[in-house]
Amino acid sequence: MIESFKEMAEGMQDQLVAWRRELHKIPEVAHDLPKTAEYIAKRLEEMGIPHRTGVGGYGIVAVINAEKEGKTFGIRADMDALAIEEETGLPFPSEHKGAMHACGHDAHMSMALGAAKLLQENRESIPGRVKMLFQPAEEGPGGAKPMIDDGALKDPDVDVVIGQHIGHIFKTVGNGQVGVGKGAIMACLDSFKLQIHGKGGHGAMPDITVDPIMIATQITQALQTLISRERKPTQPGVITVGKFHGGTAYNIIPEKVELEGTARFISEEVRQQISKRIGELAKGIAESMRGSCEFEYVYGYPPLVTDSEFSEYFKGVAAQIVGDENVVEIDEPTMGGEDMAFFLKEAPGTFFFLGSPKAGEDMYPHHHPKFDLDESVMWKGTALFAATAYSWLKDNA
Ligand SMILES: [Zn+2]
Ligand SMILES: [Zn+2]
């Protein structure tokens, strides 16, 4: 049956490309996805798959074999695009000004639709249920959590969940190859804000002011000591101050400076430890320099942790579809984040990477106005979803 899912998916390749291109034309950003949701719902309707729209916003949950007994296998695809003006020159460009599918989520939806179609057409032979989870706002502010809060993983309860990312996030995953990692493979995606208050005044008379620029400079440097001196050296961690705003004129010492940054960790323990220390350190420095500091830390997406046992199982299925030599073990995490992490906190499962870089000079990174992918690998994503769902439900019936 795995072999026949592979053949059926290969046979759907043209359809997958057509869906992806149609979705590529109507990119929508964050939570505001009316056209995208309508498109997905229409395709599900044509396939005769019962579904619920408006889940946690524009999210959609569809269930194949809803009436059947057995376990429930979840398949998740993100739906959102980015606020980027497209410059690809493709014959099917974005029709929405200032928005573009520059991360490949158009392909994710298409591949998931393909799997839904194959599973629905073969539902008699599938010993359990498959739940399709179409999710908004992966690029921010996050759509997985609102869907979960709206019951996306309940009734029927999802036993395992799987998702994927196409493109070239991991350089070790070549074109058409499948990357799978065990355990924590992506970082948390947190942010923080620091408001540093001093006492403004004349640039020529610093002695009667409290200079928040000096304080902010010290804090920015000291934050890196949290990484070098307080983080466990064997656990990855990044702190980046990406915004440093203060001042209005060359000869004025300002009242305040605002810093914003991101913090990324793979270990939840290190995340908890360092996140608290950012505020303590910043406040301590500000006060010792006669200023003060307000600290705000936003715990965003958690680290993405795959289930090792399920990931191993998935590798076995993937080897039958793409060949053993094309299944790549991801042994080094990326500090990028993914809100699939929320689904994987609720149910065991995995998140795999389908290598699809455009060859040679045409290769632009994710989130670039010229980003594109090699569509010829898309049948693999569909086959991997459908065959793993079938196979796991059969083995766990
Ligand atoms: Zn992205
Ligand atoms: Zn993405």
Per residue in 245-270, pLDDT (tens digit) is 999 999 999 999 999 999 999 999 99
* pLDDT band (50, 70, 90) for residue 40: very high
From 250, 277, 301, the end of a domain falls on 301
Q: In the prediction, which pLDDT does 280 show? A: 98
CB count within 10 Å of CB 41 equals 18
Active site residues: 80, 138
- Domain CATH code at residue 313: 3.40.630.10
How far is Cα 180 from Cα 186, in angstroms, rounded to an integer?
12
With bands split at pLDDT 50, 70 and 90, how would you rate the model's confidence at 35? very high
250 and 348 in a single domain? The answer is: no
Q: Please tell me the distance from the alpha carbon of residue 66 to that of residue 50, in angstroms, as a whole number.
A: 8
Could you report the per-residue pLDDT of 199-247, keeping only the tens digit for each? Answer: 999 999 999 999 999 999 999 999 999 999 999 999 999 999 999 999 9
Do 279 and 327 belong together in one domain?
Answer: no
Mean pLDDT, residues 28-37 taken together: 98
How confident is the model at residue 342, as a pLDDT?
Answer: 98
**Residue 31 C-alpha to ligand 2 middle, in angstroms?**
15
How far lies 210's CA from each of 204, 254, 257, 288, 389, in Å?
Answer: 13, 9, 12, 11, 62
Looking up tokens 């699809």 gives 356
Gap from CA of 165 to ligand 2 centroid (Å): 6
State the distance from the centre of ligand 1 to the C-alpha of 346, rounded, in angstroms. 22
- Domain match, 65 and 161 both: yes
Domain boundary among 301, 328, 356: 301
d(CA 366, CA 78): 15
Cβ-based neighbour number of residue 115 at 10 Å: 30
Residue range 295-310: mean pLDDT, rounded: 98
Give the model's pLDDT for residue 363.
Answer: 86
pLDDT in tens, 71-97: 999 999 999 999 999 999 999 999 999
For the chain, what percent of residues have pLDDT higher than 90? 98
Question: What DSSP string describes 85-144?
Answer: ------SS--SSTT-B--SSHHHHHHHHHHHHHHHHHTGGG-SSEEEEEEE--TTTT-SH
How far does residue 170's CA lie from ligand 2's centre (Å)? 12
Collapsing DSSP states into helix, strand and coil, what is residue 347? coil
Domain hosting residue 228, numbered range: 189-301
Question: What CATH number is given to the structural domain containing 264?
Answer: 3.30.70.360
Check residue 384 and give its pLDDT.
Answer: 98
Distance of alpha carbon 113 from alpha carbon 130, whole angstroms:
12
Is 64 in the same domain as 179?
yes
Q: Check whether residue 11 and residue 158 sit in a common domain.
A: yes
Task: Looking at the structure, tell me whether residues 159 and 201 fall in a common domain.
Answer: no
**Span from the CA of 387 to the centroid of ligand 2 (angstroms):** 23
* pLDDT at residue number 49: 98
- Say how many domains are in the chain: 2
Strands 178-181 and 292-301: unpaired
Q: Are residues 163 and 285 in the same domain?
A: no
**Residue 78: nearest ligand to its CA?**
2
* Residue where a domain stops, chosen among 301, 317, 337: 301
Q: How many CA atoms lie within 13 A of 329 on its CB side?
A: 7
